[in-house]
Structures are given as C-alpha cells and as structure tokens.
Chain A
Amino acid sequence: MTDVVLRTERLFKNFGALKATNNVSLDLRKGEIHALIGPNGAGKSTLIQQITGHLASDSGTVCLMDEDLISVGPAERARKGLGRTFQISSLAMEHTVLQNAVLGALGQRGNVMSFFKPVMKDAQLVSAAKAALAQVGLAEFAATRTADLSHGQRRQLEVAVALTLKPKAFLMDEPMAGLGLEGAQQMIGLLTDLRKEAPILLIEHDMDAVFALADRISVLVYGEVIATGTPEEIKVNPEIRRAYLGDEVPA
C-alpha cells in the first residue's frame, strides 16, 4: 500500500506482568483521521509514547513512510515528521505563545546552534509560527505568556506547535480533553481540515467527536487492538458495544 504514512507492526510493551501494549499493528493512511479508542487504562497513551519514542518498545517496529524509526529517540522521530500533542499540555510556560510556536518552527528548520541572531526577529520563523497560531485561532494571543492562557487555549497552542513542525503524521493525545462544548466544536473544525495536510492518529474520549471526525476507528482493550473499522462498522460491532461503548449508544 503506497498511501500508508505511519505503521506499527507487532508492538509490545510490558510493565512487569502488565501487558500495556500487546501485539499492536495498525496503520495511518494519507488524508485520514484514525481514532484510537478504548477504556481507561487500555494503553492508548502508552502506545502513542511508543510511537513517538518517548517510551522504548520491548519489540516491534514503527515505520514512517517505510522508514524504520524504532532505533531512534523522540527528537529524531520528531525531526523525521512525527508531530504530537500531549494529553496534559506540555509547553514552555514562561515563554510567550509566539515563542512556543517559534520553538516549533525552529525545530522544523533545524540549526538551533545559532548564538548571535535574535530568533524572534527571524522573519521566516516568526511568519511560520504566526501562520500556525492563526490556523488554530490564537493569533491575537501571540504576545501572551503561555502560563496565562486558559486550558483550552493551551490545547490549541499544542496543536499550533505541532503544525509548525510540518509533520508527515500527527499524533494527538486527547486534544479535546477539558475543552468546553464550544472549544470542542472549534477543535473538531480544525482537525477536519488538518487531515488534508497530514493524517492524524487521534486518541479521544469524546465519542461524539470521534464519530464526527474519524475515517477509521481502532478499539484498544488491555493493550490489544480488538477491532479496526469505519465508524459504522465499529458502532454495530456487538462485542465493542458490550466492552466499551455501552448498549445505550444509538446504532
């Protein structure tokens, strides 16, 4: 398949006797949002950490555009084109919103060992950063200290920083978590368009968002993918309804 961007093959991760990730093989294809759902403790975040390299895998491979990334660390994987957002916002809190975005643009461009040129006057970096901020709707907050942002705005900034990386694939760990109804709608609108730039592997608890956004859904239970399919297929799969969705979900 030529349209596979990101692929994991037989990934394993044990924490002692706990099988956090158990033989996970899944792929992310061009232009799609692939949602990863599952009950708390199913190993969704562990899997994302393994894919981004923040957590070493026991065995298996992670391939981005057919390049095996399993042996390299998180910094290299980011440079190769994995753009991630965190479940708990992970930003430089003392820096301004714009500085955080510029940091991402700087990571994308490389050449961080520059000691004399003021980075915030680098037109190329700043315009890339501002474009990303505008895309998530944070343009007017560019000069705000990140610590002074609301929870929802920090989630938007997470996405903006991932955007500045111009990644080949996005990995988003609950970008909707803690957003209000309006914020979630805004984020859904944003992600809908974003998948055209790069496909998104999305972890999300908000089922309305998942069914509104996802092209495909994988269900993770006890570290194992028990099903992968279109939202329609997942909705009617009786095993999943029992295990996870609850019977009251309208089919």
Chain B
Amino acid sequence: MKRETWINGAALAVLLGVPLWAVMADEPFIITLATRAAIFALAGVGLNLALGTGGLVSLGHAAFFGIGGYAMGILASHAQSYAPIMEAPFLIEGTKSMPVIWLVAMVTSALVALVIGMLSLRTSGVYFIMITLAFGQMIYYFAISWPAYGGEDGLSIYVRNGFPGLNTLVPLQFFGLCFAILCLALVLMNAIHKSAFGLALSAARQNETRVLSVGMKPYHLRLVAFVISGAVTGLAGALFADLNRFVSPTMLSWQMSGEIIIFIIIGGVGRLFGPVIGAMIFILLEHTLGGLSEFWHVYLGALLLGIVLFAKGGVIGALAGREKAHD
C-alpha cells in the first residue's frame, strides 16, 4: 500500500480515537474539539476541490461556511419561536431537523457559489482572489447590517437540532454524525478526483490551453467545481453552527476564509486528506498554544512560514513525498 494511504488511515484513526478516549476519560470538551476538527476538515475538503484540484484560490469560502451556518440559524430560530419564515404565497416554516437544514444549507451555498463563480471565474490569479474576497465581504457586511437575524450579535439556538434516531445533545453522537459526513465527503472527493471530471479539472489547472485544444471549456469545469466546493463548505457551516448552537457574522469573515485555506496548506494542497490533517493540527495548536497565550497565532504563522518555505506539499507532502499520479 502507498505511504499516503497509511498516513490517511492514521489521521482518521486519531480523529476517531481521541473522542472515544475522551468518553472514557470523561473529558467532554475534548469531544467538542474533535467535532470542531471534523467540521473544519469538512469545510477544507470542500475548498480543496476548488483550490487544490482546480487551482482556484478562493478567499471567499467563508461566505459558504456562513451561509450554511445562517441556513441552520434561520430555520431553527423560526422553529423555536413557532413563527413561519413566510406565509404568502405559500407557507414556509422553520425546522429543527438536521437533514432538512443540511439540504437547505447545501442548496443555498451551491446557488450562491454559482452566482459568485459565474462572475469571478471570468478572472484568474490575483483578480480571482480579490473578487472572491469582495463577494465574501459583501455577504459579511450584509449579515452585520441585517437586524432580523441578530445582526452583529448573531443568533442563538437553545437546543441542538435533531437527527432521526440519534440524541444529538450527547457529544459523542454528534461527533459521530460529523465524522460520518466527513468520511462521506472524502469518499465523494476521492471519486471525483479519479473521474473524467477530475482529470479534466486538474488538467485545466496545469494547462488551460491544453484543455481547450481537446475541446473542453475550463470555465465550465471550474464553475462546476466551485459549486460543489461551495456546497460542501456550506454543509460544514451548518454543522459548525449546530455545534456551537450559535451563528454570527464571524463565520462569514475573511479571517474564516483564511483559516480554511490554512488547513489545506498545513495538510497539503490538493491532497485528499490535506484539510483533515491540517484542521487537526490547527485545533491542536489552538488548544495547546491558545492556553499559553492569546497570541498563539504567532506560532501558527511560524508553522505556516516553515511549511511554505520548506515543505510545499504540507505535512502529507513531507511524509509521503510527491503525489503519485494515479493509474
């Protein structure tokens, strides 16, 4: 078996093992941390399709993360106040059901990604980064100035939303749910990476002219990747809001976009498990160093600098070497 497969397996084992240990050691906070890591990993897995495979450096993915969060917040807040979202022309009520919330989060994120993608994918390079950032900021300020759902203060939900057959208030059960979704997303991304679409998308990153010359349009490939990417990150946002039972414009901030990129860079750009390992390391640092100093980001910065300068393939690249072209 390839070395990278072992590393990937080990990462999943640690992510699954830590909360199981935490249950026995009676450390519920550790379970919350692991859940956070799984959700951040999912957000990164979403972005990684656009950034890693597609070469689209989006500095606006917090928009999808936040839209997923607000999808949960808005639906759940209406459900807990028994006030329908709208009555005319037809009735839409809030819900506390996770599957429905996830669906809404993904569809909304995908639609917003479609609009943002259609406009921003006409540019490339630095301009693409700036346009995605601008869209992200627009949505951020919109959320701040929209008083109906808490504005700057955000929106609190009293009870975590439900999933059929599970008690989501038990930390381990909610973790299990997030972990299962992460695994599902990884399976999906692995399939996409090996598919016809994945081959063409990756080729478009490496050489746009080549893709055009065999009769494919890079713009279409990238747009589809951007939409899938946004939907997955949006789903992560809905889970994140449910974990905290709280959603605020912070989820939409450009710092959040930056953090999702950081997960990918730490773990390894374009690697299937890059964001998983990156998010785990990020949470580990946040927990251990954050306890020492409020300014723990200094150490994160040093780590990033080290990776960018000395290990461009991230942790996975350093441990497993160059990605083998799959056959």
Binding site for B on A (CB under 8 A): 52, 54, 73-76, 78-79, 84, 86, 90-96, 98-100, 102-104, 106-108, 110-120, 122, 125, 143, 145, 161, 164-165
Contacts and interface: CB of A to CB of B under 8 A. Distances in A.
Contacts of A165: 214-215
B325 A145 contact: yes
A96 B206 CA distance: 12
Interface stretch (B131-139, B142-150, B188-196): B188-196
A111 B196 CA distance: 8
A112 B327 contact: no
Contacts, number: 113
Contact of A91 (B191, B207, B224): B207
Contact of A112 (B200, B202, B207, B323): B200
B177 to A, nearest CB: 24
B202 A95 contact: yes
B207 A113 contact: no
Given A119-B199, A145-B325, 9 more contacts: A90-B209, A93-B206, A95-B202, A99-B199, A100-B210, A102-B199, A119-B195, A164-B214, A165-B214
B212 interface: yes
A106 B191 CA distance: 17
Interface string B162-193: 00000000000000000000000000000110
Given A75-B217, A99-B325, A103-B214, A86 B209 contact: yes
A106 B199 contact: yes
A94 B195 contact: no
Interface residues of B, number: 28
Q: Which 4 residue pairs across A and B have the least CB separation, nearest first?
A: A107-B214, A78-B215, A79-B215, A92-B203
A108 B196 CA distance: 12
Contacts of A122: 196
Interface of B: 191-192, 194-200, 202-203, 206-207, 209-217, 221, 224, 323, 325-327
A113 B199 contact: no
Contacts of A95: 199, 202-203, 206, 325
B212 A74 contact: yes
B285 to A, nearest CB: 31
A164 B216 CA distance: 14
A103 B200 contact: yes
B199 A90 contact: no
Contacts of A118: 191, 194-195
A113 B195 CA distance: 9
A251 B5 CA distance: 65
Contacts of A79: 215
Most chain A Cβ neighbours within 10 Å, of B198, B211, B215: B215
Contacts of A113: 196-197, 224
Contacts of A164: 214
A90 B207 contact: yes
A112 to B, nearest CB: 5
A146 to B, nearest CB: 9
B191 to A, nearest CB: 5
B325 A94 contact: yes
Given A115-B195, A120-B194, A120-B327, A108 B207 contact: no
A115 to B, nearest CB: 5
B214 A78 contact: yes
B326 A115 contact: no
B43 to A, nearest CB: 20
A90 B197 contact: no
Given A75-B216, A103-B214, A114 B207 contact: no
Contacts of B326: 120
Contacts of B212: 54, 73-75, 78
B214 A108 contact: yes
A102 B326 CA distance: 13
